[in-house]
Amino acid sequence: MRVALCYDLRDAYRAAGYGEEETAEFDAADTVDAIEAALRELGHETERIGHVGALAGRLVEGRRWDLVFNTAEGLRGVGREAQVPALLEAFDQVYTFSDPLVSALTLHKAMAKRVLRDLGLPTADFRVVETQAEAKNVDLPFPLFVKPLAEGTAKGIDGGSRVETREALEQRCAWVLARHRQPALVEPFLPGREFTVGLTGSGAEAVALGTLEVVLQPGSEPHAYTYRNKEQCETLCEYRAVEAARAAPLEALALAAWRGIGGRDAGRIDLRLGADALPYLLEINPLPGLHPTHSDLPMICSVAGIPYLELIARIVSSALRRSHDRGPLPRALP
């Protein structure tokens, strides 16, 4: 089978002048190497494409593949993770991971939380602050947690994200608005343990692979799984396997969210316990990192005894099942 690889390579963007935080979600070279090696070990032919612009050029030239393995995050905007899926949909090309709707919805944290609430699933209350003046009107109880509305890899989250006063809230919102050029999401701070659940599959076929607890170590930034803590997770975080009895309700909640929101092929869902000791959904990640040892989903698989090769095989198999359900386009485009 011919498989094209779409990705945003961190080194290439850094060489073009983009900064560390701007490129934090992009793939390191060894991640792309690992994905390609796994695909080839599974018997597939591979072709490296790269970012959305390179993909657009190949598609316009008439190039097609049996599958596009997509990990491209996009550079800016709430629809950045939806760019490659939308382009591939326009050219009727089968690809891995979630569709444009889910990709955009889950990146917009407030919209995702609205859907989760409509599904009857627990997520913390929230307010969206689009201007500095709106921070004065936030009517949630302190302490609060402030983060950018549409970022991943904990970008914009650090030791100062937890605020305890109105003044600190206004200052933090102003910082998010200026530095990240997007609204701030404000939520009550959840003081309990934090977990991440790995999943593969789509719809009724989706399964939970396992659950890890994220435990901050001495020297880490406080309160949360921050950008710095993620980037230096080997020394600042400990990942503890969660016993089956404790993991079961977390995984059931994660699966309900994944199926309800329409996630496909593989992903990861983060949860945290509130002051009431109940779990709340934090975020849904439908485009998970796939570095074999640094990314959370492969780490969950490793603890669960699932080899990296099997994870990639599951993603490919799940995506290919969709190709059997597609009919031909009704007629050629004019």
DSSP 164: -
CB count within 10 Å of CB 2 equals: 13
pLDDT greater than 90 at residue 118: yes
pLDDT digits (tens, 9 = 90+) for 67-117: 999 999 999 899 999 999 999 999 999 999 999 999 999 999 999 999 999
Residue ranges with strand state E in the chain: 2-6, 45-50, 67-70, 127-129, 144-148, 162-163, 184-188, 194-200, 207-216, 237-241, 266-273, 279-285
Using 50, 70 and 90 to split pLDDT, how confident is the model at 328?
low
**Bridge partner residues of 50 (DSSP):** 6
pLDDT greater than 90 at residue 249: yes
CB count within 10 Å of CB 49 equals: 24
Using 50, 70 and 90 to split pLDDT, how confident is the model at 256?
very high
* Interatomic CA distance for residues 237 and 265, integer angstroms: 27
DSSP 242: P
Comparing CA positions, the residue from 65, 2, 43, 51 lying closest to residue 23 is 51
Confidence at residue 323, expressed as pLDDT on a 0 to 100 scale: 78
Q: Of all residues in the chain, what percent carry a pLDDT higher than 90?
A: 89
For 61, the token pair is 């030239």
Confidence at residue 324, expressed as pLDDT on a 0 to 100 scale: 67
| Mean pLDDT of the region 16-23 | 90
| Mean pLDDT of the region 254-278 | 98
Confidence at residue 160, expressed as pLDDT on a 0 to 100 scale: 95
pLDDT digits (tens, 9 = 90+) for 285-302: 999 999 999 999 999 999
Confidence at residue 21, expressed as pLDDT on a 0 to 100 scale: 84
Say what angle helices 29-41 and 308-323 make with each other, to 10 degrees. 70
pTM score of the predicted model: 0.94
| Mean pLDDT of the region 35-63 | 97
pLDDT greater than 80 at residue 239: yes
Which residues contact residue 64 at a Cβ distance below 8 angstroms, ignoring those fewer than 6 apart?
A: 91, 93
For 41, the token pair is 């070990």
| Mean pLDDT of the region 8-19 | 94
pLDDT digits (tens, 9 = 90+) for 153-196: 889 999 999 999 999 999 999 999 999 999 999 999 999 999 99
* Interatomic CA distance for residues 187 and 138, integer angstroms: 10
What is the phi/psi pair of residue 310, to 5°? -70, -35
Element (H, E) at 87: helix 83-90
Q: Of all residues in the chain, what percent carry a pLDDT higher than 70?
A: 97
DSSP 46: E
pLDDT greater than 70 at residue 238: yes
Please give the residue that has the higher pLDDT: either 21 or 151: 151
* Interatomic CA distance for residues 92 and 82, integer angstroms: 15
pLDDT greater than 70 at residue 325: no
Averaged pLDDT of the chain: 95
The SS3 call for residue 151 is coil
Residues in the chain, overall count? 334
Distance of alpha carbon 188 from the chain centroid: 22
Confidence at residue 231, expressed as pLDDT on a 0 to 100 scale: 84
Is 100 in contact with 75 (CB distance < 8 Å)?
no
pLDDT greater than 70 at residue 41: yes
pLDDT greater than 80 at residue 330: no
Confidence at residue 227, expressed as pLDDT on a 0 to 100 scale: 86
Confidence at residue 241, expressed as pLDDT on a 0 to 100 scale: 95
Comparing CA positions, the residue from 198, 304, 159, 299 lying closest to residue 239 is 299
Domains and CATH numbers, the chain: 2-95 (3.40.50.20), 125-188 (3.30.1490.20), 191-321 (3.30.470.20)
